Structure 1
Amino acid sequence: MEPEAKWLWKTTQTEDFYATYTISYQLTLATREPLLKEHLLQALAHLSRKVPLLRVCFGRRNGEVWIREMAEEALDFEVVSNVTIQDLHKSLQTYRYDLEKGPLWCVKLLSEPPSSPEVPAGFDASKFCHMYTLFLGLHHGITDGNSNMRICGFLVQILESVMGKKAIDDAEQLGVYVSDEKTRRLLEDYVASLEADPELRRKVMDEIQSRYGKYSLLKSTYKGVGEKVPRTGVLEKNLDSDSTIAFIKRCRAEGVTVNSAFIALSSVAVVDLLVDQGLEQDTYDIRSDHVLNARRYWGGDTSQYLGCHLLPLLPVVAKTPRNIEGKFWDFARSVHQDILRKLNEGGPLLEEAAKHFMAAKPDFDPTFQYEFCVTNMGNVTGLVTEGGDHVQALHVVRTVAMNTVPCTWSILLHTFRNRMIFALTYNTSFVNSEMANRFCNRIFQRLQESL
């Protein structure tokens, strides 16, 4: 008889929203000794036993979808060969998980060593001469970028112990899997504050309604360029350590965050594409949306909390000039001030609370009418770790499936071991590969001009 499942909680609005997405992570490792299949199987078994969110699945309870613990331990691991990195990402972005049995994650090991691996400065390839590429697929409904980067770090450290023949205590759990109860309570507070402040309520509602009827300029300008059947395209570009450090220093000197500067760069690159297609204006309202970690508003130490803890997308509209020459950092500061204001006032929570006072189903849904979406995790070196005496983590890339939503592209940005890593995922029904390459090249061209 199958063991009785432990029910955790009914799926939340956040978990339901992100359940349409599938995540694919690419982790490059280097080891002193050859990495055997047995090493990985042992490490993944420990990982599953020590990380609670890797032991959950979905189930129906009283007609509703709940998250529950898996009835039995199971791993989804495969060694693959003769496939490209693009093909692996594609397969994981359309991966079919056994939702009611689990696991809701999988791991693929590419048997061939990377042909041209991304290697951090100062890495000693003579000591760690065996290189491998791991691919982690995850169901977005149970996890987020913060949790995923931690999971990559847990795997690196467990593999270090396995290859170093150190004892591993499976009873010691790595992190705590929680629902977004803290975020929901915060949202209730924001609803109450808007109830008590009609002027603020009107201001936030006006800002939301200002986006109604405004379609993406890219989708309106570039018509008929995509494929009939949508899929997710992936383009990766990295900044060397010297340029990364120089860019970070310049941002600090100009009084803006790297995130704000990159949003400004991306906004300018969108304008470049619009001008290329013949849409000529003095300025353009470039809307970008931003995925934020809800933990930032929880207070206290949130480092142990795992799960899908993302806020509703935060829209930012930047009035972007066509001619940016000599004015880029002034423009970046204006972007920074707008984002900082929205972050300080709890923008995503404030907007979500305001919807409580608005029509449930407006005639026009502006959710995906942005020009680009950004998920910036900052420096993830501490989360992924650099490794140890037996295993080194060299490179990490994250992608997300975009073919299930009617949007253009999403920028996934982070820094690892002093290098900025940029992944552009795009919906091929709206964006073709030539556009994606041009957009990416313009961003980095503008970045070099800003140094």
Structure 2
Amino acid sequence: MEKVGGSWLRLVTPMEEMFESAHQKGTLLICYHLIFNSAARLREDHVQTALRNLYWKVPNLRVCFDDRDGEMWLRYRSSNDLDFEVVNGGDVQSTVERLRTYRYNSTTGPLWCAKLLHDVEHPKESLESTSNLPFISHVFLGFHHGIVDGITTMKVCGCFVQLLNDVISGQLISDKVQIGELVSGEETEKLLQAKKKRIETDHELRETLIREMRSKCCKPRLLDSIYQAPEGMEDKSSQVIHNLDAATTEAFINRCRAERLTVHSAFTALANLALIDLLMKKNVIQSSYTICSAHTTNLRRYWPGDTSLALGCHISPTFLYIKTPRDAGNRFWHYARTLHQNLKSSLESGKALEDIVLRQLTTLSKTEKTEDHVESKEENTEVRPDFFTSNMGDVTPFISRESKEIQVTQITRSISLHNTGLSCSHVFHTFKGHLTHCLDFSTKSLSEDLARDYCAQIFRRLKEVI
């Protein structure tokens, strides 16, 4: 008998299903931390009213997962209740840790939550606020990754800030105007099918690409050579946060522009060199190191037409392998330009889409061998990057509706990585002229001391090259 619920939408995409599987393991969950300065103490009922309106303005926030005839579907919720809590006596770190392992009710929702903290000690990593508004509040938004990606989540944050301002100022709010549309992966699927047809009709190309992918999958992570977690240690997600001052941020951005490359490429190059610094300290000394980084890519970039209203989870990694000489820091900008050109080429060619197709083909190949009872060695077809990146660029335009009564002074993004086999992720963006960097990591892959040293090396080198 069909469960009581809202209207059915569609089958889930493979990405949505993957994130739901991770959610069941309590991982790959998103936490956004917004720090507000306000003219008066932020009222619970104001926040709740803004969240209620947010719920009706963002279709993603009204969906859940459910089984339909043995298949997983998205459907609208039958209830409109919120998961909102005022945390009394809590602190920033414990709230973040809680949202890293949060359990949502997948079949009834909501697949997101909000927490409000007052009167807590300001995190030592926080920026020195330039706001003259005296009251400080912390709002945490947690999300099931299956319903949002970075673009969608920042739009949700911007909408929430706008609504909170409207509620405080007594503005009339209409729930008829939505901030976007929950779209399927149809456009992505069309692109994947085109790539798949090209690869399958060219046998030589298919074998070459699969052979290259399998050879790369055999590459061990560099971090594994310098850290082995103690036997029996529980895997947890942790983070190191660094906020760069405005003057250094501006100098870094201007230098990147002068060198004609992106902040993303330059920061990735710094992360590579800092990784080598760690290896050298641990006596893993080579003339060069092949570093694999995975760059979270917005797949909407490959869709035709206007994608500005497309909400949902539409991402996949673009893998970059780059040979890094031990002394690359001596000619940093030359090295960064080489990395930039390689990454740019991969992004423009849709390498992320090609890699999805190759994973599908190798999975199918393994299944066929099993069914035909052909004896074969177990093949590893999963890339093990040394680190991931998630860069949103300048997120200031997303938060464009502030007022004299309330202002956002800091945004921090984070994702849990424990129990995934992933090592660490550089999550960064600029907001109001400051670069914010969060190194999310699994404690099975990095110790707290190594993670802090890694970040320290990145920002030491950043200041050296500007």
TM-score bucket of the superposed structures, by smaller chain: over 0.9
Greater Cα shift, 438-447 or 362-371: 362-371
Unaligned 5+ runs, structure 1: none
- 2:396 — aligned with what? 381
- Paired position in structure 2 for 1:324: 328
Structure 1 residues 228 and 366, CA gap change in structure 2 (3 angstroms): farther
CA contact (8 A) 1:14 1:308 kept: yes
- Counterpart residue identity of residue 389, structure 2: V
3-state secondary structure, aligned to 1:397: strand
Shift of 1:295: 0.9
Aligned AA (2:103): R
Q: Which residue of 1 aligns with 2:372?
A: none
Q: Under a length normalisation based on structure 1, what TM-score does the superposition of the two structures give?
A: 0.94
* Whole-angstrom distance in 2 between the partners of 1:103 and 1:115: 29
Match of 2:41 among 27, 31, 34: 34
Query: Which residue identity is paired with 1:17?
Result: M
SS class of match (1:78): strand
On the 8 A contact 2:185/2:314 being kept in 1, the answer is yes
Q: Structure 1 pair 70/162, CA: closer, same or farther in 2 (3 Å)?
A: same
Aligned pairs (5 A) from 1:223-302? 223-224=228-229, 228-302=233-307
Distance 1:49 1:187, change over 3 A: same
Q: Quote the Cα distance in structure 1 between the aligned partners of 2:203 and 2:465.
A: 43
Q: Distance in 2 between matches of 1:420 and 1:199?
A: 45
Distance in 2 (CA, whole Å) between partners of 1:120 and 1:191 is 51
Partner of 1:83: helix, strand, or coil? coil
From 160, 164, 183, give the equivalent of 1:159. 164
- Does residue 1:115 correspond to 2:122, yes or no? yes
2:331 partner letter: K
Alignment CA distance shift 1:39-1:195 (3 Å): same
Amino-acid identity (%): 36
The answer to which of 78-87 and 332-341 deviates more is 78-87
Match of 2:380 among 354, 362, 365: 365
CA RMSD across the alignment = 2.0
C-alpha displacement of 1:81: 2.6
Distance 2:400 2:379 in 1: 44
| Aligned counterpart, 2:10 | 9
Q: TM (normalized to structure 2)? A: 0.91
- Which whole-Å CA distance do the structure 1 matches of 2:401 and 2:273 have between them? 34
Equivalent of 1:427 in 442, 456, 460: 442
Q: Equivalents in 1 of 2:3, 2:204: separation in Å?
A: 57
Residue 65 of structure 2: aligned partner? 58
Identify if the C-alpha distance between structure 1 residues 181 and 270 changes in structure 2 by more than 3 Å, giving closer, same or farther. same
Distance 2:442 2:52 in 1: 35
Q: Structure 1 residue aligned with 2:182, among 164, 177, 196?
A: 177
Check if 1:393 corresponds to 2:408. yes
CA apart distance, 1:406: 0.9
Structure 2: state its 5+ residue gaps. Answer: 23-27, 367-376
Alignment map for 1:335-350 (pairs within 5 Å): 335-350=339-354
* Cα distance per residue 1:373-423 (max 9 Å; x no partner): 101111111123362232211111011010121121111111111111101
Local SS of the residue matching 2:315 = coil
Match in the other structure for 1:98? 105
Q: Cα gap change, 1:227/1:419 in structure 2, threshold over 3 Å: closer, same or farther?
A: farther
Paired residues of 2:13 and 2:185 also in contact (CA < 8 A)? yes
Change (3 A) 1:163 1:66: same
Mapped contact 1:120–1:417 kept (Cα < 8 A): no
CA separation of 1:435/1:294 partners in 2, compared to 1, >3 Å: closer, same or farther?
same
Q: 2:191 aligns with which of 181, 186, 195?
A: 186
| Cα distance, 1:112 vs structure 2 | 1.4
CA-CA distance at 1:247 after TM superposition: 0.6
Residue type at the aligned position of 2:458: I
SS of 1:279's partner is coil
Distance 2:168 2:264 in 1: 37
- Larger mean CA deviation between 222-231 and 38-47 belongs to 222-231
Given that residues 226 and 431 in structure 1 are in contact (C-alpha distance below 8 angstroms), is that contact kept between their aligned partners in structure 2? no
Specify the SS of the correspondent of 2:89: coil
Query: 1:344-391 CA deviation, whole Å, 9 max, x = no partner?
Result: 110111222234543534834353521111011111111233622322
Q: Equivalents in 2 of 1:337, 1:49: separation in Å?
A: 43
1:422 counterpart SS class: strand
Q: Give the C-alpha shift of residue 4 in structure 1.
A: 4.8
